[in-house]
Structure 1
């Protein structure tokens, strides 16, 4: 993989166990992704778009190592990509305060032993990056708004200086005003930290606002991939055209 690439997938086929299979059924696994091939440049914001069930989240989980049941090649330039999930409330332990939640990734860091002072300094640094006041470290997730909880989730993902951040529908559970604020935060972090971002969404209007490149998926297959402006202005796949029309972006 060349130096300017942060990620490459070649003929990637991803599976998961069929927990609803009938007794004695031979079909123990279901294939979700089919021969997915793409690469991602360093510092790029790549959006993965498509309708629910198309394989977007399955691909994300394979990249971060949650789903290891795959064939093909998945090569990453850096270790430890981090993920931000759709629902910020269910992603956070409600019994722990924000300070504990932010500090935890450093306590379990296998690559470096952090002193308590170093951990707290890093926590305060990241709180500033995600634009949250230090006083919130002493609060529980239930005491925060949806947007504040998502900022905490983004902060937790940033704690160990990842080079790749995967945001899986990070604004779909938020109202429109808060969506804009979180989008602006992600754009700011991308510019400030030089971090590569995979942004997963079914909302093509949101995708257009943040991505350099977009990859359209349907039934576990990439149907179109290119620069966002080019794909939106001159879509090649009929499926992409239908999505853009349904979103009111294309007549």
Structure 2
């Protein structure tokens, strides 16, 4: 299903362009790195009470498919994302696996979900990109059945996640066009502030809101590190258009900056996140 009325905003353009394609190309690497978060969300699925699950910002579908496998024939999981390349990859994965999940290419902020159609709404790093979070969570609240749960994982602050900004800090002198991160703007660290997240959810109709700080060790193979830093994030996007000399300089400089995280054949870092839960208010 495609939503032809979605807003052509910056996030839509980004995730339907180079960022979306980079995530598809790096699907296996990212899914392996973020498996601990996927496992936390799958654990929240109670097969008896959550027959209909929505995965927001589902990307290439790993969490959607994991939830669908847990539900089995007793339920159904739907993934939604604004990225056409990622949704296409998710649909292809579901078909290959024979897993009965379904996917919607749309902006969850304004998509016309059937009211009260989901018993649980989950997201792994997919809800920080709305340009109007209150509108988005209110829309999701309308899609939630009475007493439905909301469970999502979001990053805490950039200061608490130095691994995630290492490439930008190291490359900044070499890439003058590198965009600065704007606090509270749609993006990776938009939900850093606990109070802001609670207020957004409360204002949009959610109740019993809880934010639990979690610190999770994530890993990736050292042999994949250069591919990771040259494909993903702000630096990766700029490198896709950089000249050969600049690209070589940036890769050398940035790779050296990641050395503290390299432990033999493994890159290891701690991801500082929120595990957020809420209940559809009456």
Normalised by the length of structure 1, the TM-score is: 0.30
Structure 2 length as normaliser, TM-score?
Answer: 0.28
Q: Which structure ranks higher in relative contact order (CA pairs < 8 Å, sequence separation ≥ 6)?
A: 1
Q: Which has the higher helix share?
A: 2
